[in-house]
């Protein structure tokens, strides 16, 4: 059976929200997503919720909250997924399997997170639950500290690439100016991003504040339908391929800068799609930290290991480059509400393919790649999307 297709979506503003919990955040996107798809709550056969939580809220059992967010969904089967920072992609893939297995024709996927309701230090500790605590819980700087280690390891092996990380940060912030949903719509120069200062201090050396994604609140939703149902609706975005590949959780038991799981996910998805990387028009990739985006260039095949800086220097991933990356502003500008991130990335790509991306729009976009990862490149998801209708 053909993979289900994306037929509608909705996206909240990311940032520090006045919404008190994920229930209210979900309510912001559920109704609009159904309306955008042209379906009703009574058409939905299954609900798949991505929320990381792990201490951001005392309320869990969050799959059940969607039934309280929109009238008519209270008796629809619902389940909550969690897979660290790839929680949203886990929800999407599970919903797709549900439809592909013939258990339903229409599924609603909702990703949400309320992160700003706890102190920053507590949020950092919660995020460390996406690491191997037995060995990594005492890393200074929390999860940023883990990626600081990854950056230091990369620099030791391949040379100091702080300047290129600053270029990535500046690129994504510039792109984010065009995204009305972005947490931080503010332009930063390469010079500012490359200079340690009171406004841009070191967070986890060698990573500066501008190298780190934001603690955000937000939600995003997708409506998925089988191909037959999608053919009767206004729009449809197909999955040319989708692939998940895991890697070892403990950084001590693998090469932490190889991103081997990401590389395998990309190569497997492209092979399944019958495409080369150059066939893609754009990519939304997981820039939780700028060093992650740099290594992901190498994992997706834009450069050999250690050569990712060339991609940055040559402008390959700029808006006017050969393969624009993170036209949405990425996690760096858009924000990173954990459970919403994977859903948001797919929404951003689908908007581009359907010509509904507003000021972000890349003219003529027909093929998009999405890479969403959980933890330090542990759970790796790649989707290759194309417009079907």
> Residue 233 burial (CB < 10 Å; 0-12/13-18/19+)?
middle
Torsions phi, psi of 118, nearest 5?
A: -120, 155
Cα distance between residue 223 and residue 105, in whole Å: 11
- Residue 328: DSSP 8-state: T
- Residue 207: DSSP 8-state: E
Cα distance between residue 363 and residue 355, in whole Å: 8
Characterize the bridge pairing of strands 78-81 and 46-50: parallel
> Residue 156 burial (CB < 10 Å; 0-12/13-18/19+)?
exposed
Residues forming the active site: 85, 336
Comparing C-alpha atoms, which of 111, 118, 4, 2 is closest to residue 56? 118
Give 332-380 as a DSSP string: HHH---HHHHHHHHHHHHHHHHTT--GGG--TT--EEEEEEEETTTTEE
Cα distance between residue 288 and residue 148, in whole Å: 12
């Amino acid at each position: 059976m053909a993979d289900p297709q994306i037929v509608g979506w909705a996206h909240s503003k990311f940032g520090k929200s006045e919404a008190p919990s994920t229930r209210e955040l979900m309510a912001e996107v559920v109704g609009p997503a159904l309306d955008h798809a042209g379906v009703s709550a009574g058409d939905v056969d299954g609900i798949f919720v991505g929320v990381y939580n792990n201490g951001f809220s005392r309320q869990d059992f969050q799959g059940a909250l969607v039934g309280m967010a929109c009238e008519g969904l209270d008796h629809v089967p619902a389940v909550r997924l969690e897979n660290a920072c790839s929680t949203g992609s886990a929800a999407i893939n599970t919903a797709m399997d549900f439809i592909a297995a013939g258990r339903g024709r229409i599924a609603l996927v909702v990703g949400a997170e309320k992160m700003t309701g706890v102190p920053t230090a507590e949020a950092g500790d919660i995020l460390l639950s996406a690491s191997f605590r037995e060995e990594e819980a005492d890393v200074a700087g929390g999860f940023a500290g883990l990626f600081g280690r990854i950056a230091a390891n990369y620099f030791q092996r391949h040379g100091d690439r702080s300047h290129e990380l600053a270029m990535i940060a500046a690129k994504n912030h510039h792109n984010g100016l065009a995204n009305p949903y972005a947490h931080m719509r503010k332009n930063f120069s390469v010079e500012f991003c490359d200079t340690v200062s009171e406004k841009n201090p070191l967070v986890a050396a060698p990573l500066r504040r501008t190298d780190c994604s934001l603690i955000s609140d937000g939600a995003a939703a997708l409506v998925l339908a089988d191909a037959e149902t999608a053919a009767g609706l206004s729009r449809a975005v197909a999955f040319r391929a989708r692939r998940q590949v895991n890697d070892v959780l403990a950084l001590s038991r693998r090469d932490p800068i190889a991103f081997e799981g990401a590389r395998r996910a990309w190569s497997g998805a492209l092979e399944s799609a019958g495409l080369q990387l150059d066939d893609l028009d754009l990519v939304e990739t997981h820039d939780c930290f700028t060093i992650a985006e740099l290594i992901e260039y190498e994992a997706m095949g834009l450069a050999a290991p250690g050569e990712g800086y060339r991609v940055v220097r040559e402008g390959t991933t700029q808006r006017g480059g050969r393969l624009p990356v993170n036209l949405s502003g990425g996690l760096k500008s858009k924000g990173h509400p954990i459970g919403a991130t994977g859903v948001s990335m797919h929404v951003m790509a689908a908007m581009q393919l359907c010509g509904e991306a507003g000021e972000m729009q890349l003219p003529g976009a027909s093929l998009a790649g999405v890479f969403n990862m959980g933890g330090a490149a542990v759970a790796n998801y790649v989707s290759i999307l194309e417009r079907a209708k």
